[in-house]
Chain A
Amino acid sequence: MLWFARGLLRRVVTTRYPRRTDAWAAALPSPPAFDSARLTPELAARLVARCPNGSLAIDGGALVLDLGGCTGCGRCVAEGDGAVRPSGVFELASSERIGLVKRIPIKGARK
């Protein structure tokens, strides 16, 4: 590993978190991201029914995604017919639990 040689040269034993993540990291299981222009109320209802552990819900004209409960199983991606894609985001640490709850507007839904 290069950091070892760097540590010997600079006499610093600790290094920083990588500035860029490796390319393969995008292929890790990750929570879904939604195309709000194609997210109809019918599709949203199907996605909520498909989620195995209740991480998706509908609330006031928005699809509520709880990242804390999402296991990245990919069932909503399979159900979503192109409107749902894996987000590829895995650096999700948050100091607020509520910060992990995301609201995605549903197209044409009444508030």
Chain B
Amino acid sequence: MNEEQRLAEELHHRARSLFGRSLHVRTLDTGSCAVCESEIRLLAAPPYDLNRLGFFFTPAPRHADLLLVTGPAVRAMDVAVRKTYEAIPDPKLVVAVGACALGGIWKQDALVHGTVDDVLPVDVYIPGCPPSPLALLHGLLVAVGRLEEKVASLSFDLREVTP
């Protein structure tokens, strides 16, 4: 790792620590089937209640710290995606939600980019079709550095004992 990468990493870490225990979330639908949105909406329901963890939904990207992006990044949304991202004040986090956003469903063609990676710098990926509200909560807490990622230690091999 060279000096430039180390500085970038350090800046990233400090940006995350700035968010502390309260931040505002803006959702952006780039052509999803709305099931991810349905699960995101469930985050505000009493069993999950993301407000108690210090997360709040905001209708305006200018008030947001974190962008939840769903859908396969349809090209018709290119301008809206760019404007939304630019409107969010620094430091900002981008979280890609669902199999579409992670490039699992749609291949790149004339209509879609196929993955949110092509249009935005993604910080955290949350897989699932759709990801359950608990998976989303875990992903949000990973994004702000309050929980550790678990997936790296899992092998998905039934013969291997996971540490």
Are B99 and A68 in touch, CB under 8 angstroms?
yes
Q: B80 in the interface, Cβ–Cβ < 8 Å?
A: no
Distance between B123 CB and nearest chain A CB, rounded to angstroms: 6
Alpha-carbon distance between A35 and B159 when the two chains are bound, in angstroms = 6
Which residues of chain B have C-beta atoms less than 8 A from A69's C-beta? 99, 102-105, 127
Contact with B along A1-38 (1 / 0, CB 8 A): 10100010000011111000100010011011111110
Say yes or no: A93 contacts B52, CB within 8 Å: no
State whether B125 touches A94 (Cβ < 8 A). yes
CA–CA, A65 to B155, complex, Å?
Answer: 10
- Give Cα distance in the complex from A85 to B157, angstroms: 10
Shortest beta-carbon distance from A73 to chain B in Å: 8
Using A91-B150, A102-B156, A104-B157 as known contacts, say yes or no to A13 and B104 having CB atoms under 8 A apart.
no
B23-64: CB near A (< 8 Å → 1, else 0) gives: 000000000000000000000001001001110000000000
A55 interfacial by beta-carbon distance below 8 Å: yes
- Cα–Cα distance between A67 and B159 once the two chains are bound (Å): 19
Closest CB in chain A relative to B132 CB, distance in Å: 5
> Does A61 sit at the interface, judged by CB under 8 A?
no
B102 engages A102 (CB within 8 Å): no
**A41–B129 alpha-carbon span in the complex (Å):** 28
Contact A35-B129, Cβ < 8 Å, known A68-B99, A90-B135, A93-B149: no
Q: Which of B99, B102, B155 contacts A97 (CB 8 A)?
A: B102
Q: B82 within 8 Å of A by Cβ? A: no
Binding site for B on A (CB under 8 A): 1, 3, 7, 13-17, 21, 25, 28-29, 31-37, 53, 55, 65-73, 85, 87, 89-97, 99-100, 102, 104-105
Pairs of residues from A and B, 9 with the lowest C-beta to C-beta distance, nearest first: A69-B104, A71-B129, A93-B139, A68-B102, A91-B138, A93-B142, A35-B158, A90-B135, A102-B156
